[in-house]
Chain A
Amino acid sequence: MAKFVGAVVVDKETCKGCGVCVDACPESVLALHRDVNGKGYHYSYMKDAGACIGCINCGVVCPDTCITVYRAKAS
């Protein structure tokens, strides 16, 4: 099991659904949601939340800076 567990919070109204974070995620945690936000974009969300290791790759590549990442030691 991974040493760290992470959680990604996406500001779904700012997200433009470009999918760059989905591609950058090494654990395939993120996906684009079936629903759309106020602007009509399929926003990014944690599809497989348990697999997140908090590596912050998604936040680093996000062009619209709508991702906040939290990380804690796995208990």
Chain B
Amino acid sequence: MEIQEIIKPENLVYQKTPLLNDDVMHYCPGCSHGVVHKLLAELIEEMDLQEKTIGVAPVGCSVFAYNYIDIDWQEAAHGRAPAVATGIARINPDNFVFTYQGDGDLASIGTAEIMHACNRGENILVIFINNGIYGMTGGQMAPTTLEGMVTSTTPNGRNVDLNGYPMKITNLIAQLPGTSYVTRQSVHTAAAVRKCKRSIKKAIQNVLDKKGTSFVEVVSTCNSGWKMTPVDSNKWMEENMIPYYPLGDMKDTIKGEHSDR
């Protein structure tokens, strides 16, 4: 069959969601942010939430998230996205509010905000992109940087005696009674992307059902910061990041019940 015979509107099986506008993303080639933006846009469109969604953009590489998805957005100060989202969600209880944060934003400067927002059980979705590095500012060590990992501020690798241990913040958050769904996913293969999409969909449904905070960590790559090609960084992540940050649901319950793990 000729290619021109296949390329017909009735044979279309996958295309860009109209919620993502035509701006070319500023992310480096192969960045996981693009995939997660796409999943969010697809789900908001599929669940018909475009009119009632409010996103809170962080400081970090995803600071320009509001340029790419055609929904309402609010920019927050560094790390303060959960506090801003708290205000928005309390004033507009019928809206779907989410924050989109990186590991420097959420796990370092915004630790207090995220812990207390989750502990209060604010009715928001938190997307946490964990690439183990401060990507935007030039690849410095983040709290989630792995032991021995070379960054621009730890040129000999992260030394736990000096810098402490990599922080599994999602595990801490799973223990807080306010959270209803805490999971860790990744987007390095097509199967992982599909699984991540199902998790985010479940998390969005929990927020719509007013079950408390839903938290989705996405273990990601930063190929520019890690100084690797996108394909190599996906493999490196699979071999090094995922054993330390194992994928899967950590908590899946309704508000008020403690995690048993």
A54 → B minimal CB distance (Å): 6
- Interface hub of A5, A22, A49, A63 (most chain B Cβ within 10 A): A63
Main secondary structure of the interface of A (DSSP, over half): mixed
Chain B residue at smallest Cβ distance from A71: B13
Contact yes or no, A68 B15, CB < 8 A: yes
**Residues of chain A with a CB closer than 8 A to B24's CB:** 14, 64
User: Looking at chain B, what size class is its interface with the partner chain?
Assistant: 35 or more
Q: How many chain A residues touch the partner (CB < 8 A)?
A: 35
Residue B71 is within 8 A (CB to CB) of chain A in the complex: no
Measured CA separation A9–B29 after assembly (Å)? 18
Total residue contacts A-B, CB cutoff 8 A: 101
Per-residue B-contact encoding for A1-22, CB less than 8 Å = 1, 0 else: 0000111010000101111101
- Provided the pairs A63-B27, A75-B1 are in contact, do residues A70 and B193 lie with their beta carbons within 8 angstroms? no
- In the complex, what residues of A have CB within 8 A of residue B230's CB? 18-20
Contacts of B16 in A (CB 8 A): 65-66, 68
Taken residue by residue from 161 to 190, chain B's Cβ proximity to chain A (1 for < 8 Å, 0 otherwise) reads as 000000000000000000000000001011
7 sampled A-B residue pairs with Cβ under 8 A: A6-B13, A16-B28, A63-B34, A63-B35, A68-B12, A70-B7, A75-B1
Residues of B within 8 A of A (CB): 1, 3, 5-8, 11-17, 20, 24-25, 27-35, 38, 187, 189-190, 193-194, 223, 229-231, 234
Enumerate chain A interface residues (CB-CB to B < 8 A). 5-7, 9, 14, 16-20, 22-24, 41, 46, 49, 54, 56-57, 59-72, 74-75
